[in-house]
Amino acid sequence: MKEFDLIKRYFTEQAVKRKDVILGIGDDCALLQPAERQHIAVTTDTLVAGVHFPESTEPRAIGHKAVAVNLSDLSAMGAEPTWLSLALTLPEIDEQWVAEFCCGVFELCEYYNVQLIGGDTTQGPLSITITAQGLTPVDKYITRSGANAGDWLYVTGDLGDAALALQHLQGKVNVAEQYKEQIFDKLDYPKPRVLVGQVLRDYATSAIDISDGLISDLGHICQASNVGANIVLDDLPISDIMNETLGKTAAIDVALKGGDDYELLFTVSEDNKVGMETALINTGVAITCIGQLNGSEKITTTMDNKPVSINSQGFEHFSKVDT
């Protein structure tokens, strides 16, 4: 099958459903006409086989995850996702693989009314780069830099399950058979917190999505906002599976440092705390207050109201060459 046929068959069959897409896939460019008085949010993420997902990952999960991690970035900005550009590099054409991959991509696109507007298919080692775009009303967006000392620190969902699944795959821990489906769902099919992000633009002083680990990504907020933070380890949302499999201490460590959570970490002022909590009830997503910002330049942790020291390394690519 020729490249153009491949692209045509799997990527152009999706009908253009969004009215702000003047021209979809099939010309030199797509053409968009966003509603007026909107900011456009743009993010790009690449997933490389063997680096960002295990080679054994099923193609539908790869498609899902490639979209989800980008929608997660839009959510952290408070943006409503709208358009997607997909660059797929494949070692060889495998129709079954492409069909399943597309299934993962389109399921998420349809659910969030996101339109695939273009892309490129090339031959090479498996990797996926997506540029996702979204909209926020003018001046209604959340950055990493708006947090203040005294703000409360929140996180959505549970922490560490995806990292636990990865550790199981790597043979470092053994997850009981009855828990595998649940934790692999977290690793392979992360849920971007799209609705939460849009609610938060009325309440949060800052937000980021946790892709590199809680400590690492909290560090980005602290640095950008020029604040410190204390995390109350007793309050971290950790699943029973994590506690049972790893024990409490190791579970906390994974919750703090494990990557791939794609939960939102955000801050809210004392005045907006109750309003935010009420507004988020309708999203159906659990949130947990895990600490508070302060005027120091450090991230500290406490347990039973006593200071506990942590190694603040989160996940970094290229870490092997950094020794």
Q: Decide if residue 22 touches its own copies (CB under 8 A).
A: yes
Which CB sits closer to its own copies, 40 or 274?
40
Which CB sits closer to its own copies, 144 or 168?
144
Which CB sits closer to its own copies, 46 or 283?
46
Q: Rounded to whole angstroms, how far apart are CA atoms 54 and 169? A: 8
Tell me the closest approach of the beta carbon of residue 44 to its own copies, in angstroms: 4
In sequence order, which residues have a C-beta less than 8 Å from that of residue 103 and are 6 or more positions away? Answer: 60, 63
Q: Rounded to whole angstroms, how far apart are CA atoms 163 and 151? A: 28
The tokens for 119 are: 């892309």
Q: Decide if residue 316 touches its own copies (CB under 8 A).
A: yes
| Contact set for its own copies, span 277-306 (CB under 8 A) | none
Q: Looking at 17, 51, 176, 274, which residue binds its own copies (CB under 8 A)? A: 51
Which CB sits closer to its own copies, 41 or 175?
41
Q: Rounded to whole angstroms, how far apart are CA atoms 135 and 40? A: 5
Give strand pairing partners of 84: 116, 132
Q: Looking at 33, 249, 278, 296, which residue binds its own copies (CB under 8 A)? A: 33
Q: Looking at 64, 98, 108, 129, which residue binds its own copies (CB under 8 A)? A: 129
| Contact set for its own copies, span 151-210 (CB under 8 A) | 207-209
Nearest CA among 39, 216, 12, 40 for reference residue 116: 12
The gap between the terminal CA atoms of the chain, to the nearest Å, is 45
Q: Looking at 18, 58, 100, 145, which residue binds its own copies (CB under 8 A)? A: 145
Q: Rounded to whole angstroms, how far apart are CA atoms 148 and 146? A: 7
Cβ(116)–Cβ(11) below 8 Å: yes
Q: Decide if residue 87 touches its own copies (CB under 8 A).
A: yes
Q: Rounded to whole angstroms, how far apart are CA atoms 127 and 105? A: 14
Return the number of other C-beta atoms located less than 10 Å from residue 115's C-beta. Answer: 24
Cβ(25)–Cβ(87) below 8 Å: no
| Contact set for its own copies, span 238-257 (CB under 8 A) | none
Q: Looking at 32, 149, 279, 285, which residue binds its own copies (CB under 8 A)? A: 32
Q: Rounded to whole angstroms, how far apart are CA atoms 81 and 158? A: 23
Q: Decide if residue 31 touches its own copies (CB under 8 A).
A: yes
Tell me the closest approach of the beta carbon of residue 239 to its own copies, in angstroms: 25
Q: Decide if residue 261 touches its own copies (CB under 8 A).
A: no
Report DSSP letters for 286-315, one per residue.
-EEEEEEEESSSSEEEEETTEEE-------
Q: Decide if residue 115 touches its own copies (CB under 8 A).
A: no
Q: Decide if residue 149 touches its own copies (CB under 8 A).
A: no
Which CB sits closer to its own copies, 27 or 271?
27
Cβ(160)–Cβ(261) below 8 Å: yes
Tell me the closest approach of the beta carbon of residue 303 to its own copies, in angstroms: 28
Which CB sits closer to its own copies, 31 or 99?
31
Q: Decide if residue 45 touches its own copies (CB under 8 A).
A: yes
Q: Decide if residue 226 touches its own copies (CB under 8 A).
A: no
Q: Decide if residue 85 touches its own copies (CB under 8 A).
A: yes
Which CB sits closer to its own copies, 79 or 162?
79
Return the number of other C-beta atoms located less than 10 Å from residue 203's C-beta. Answer: 23
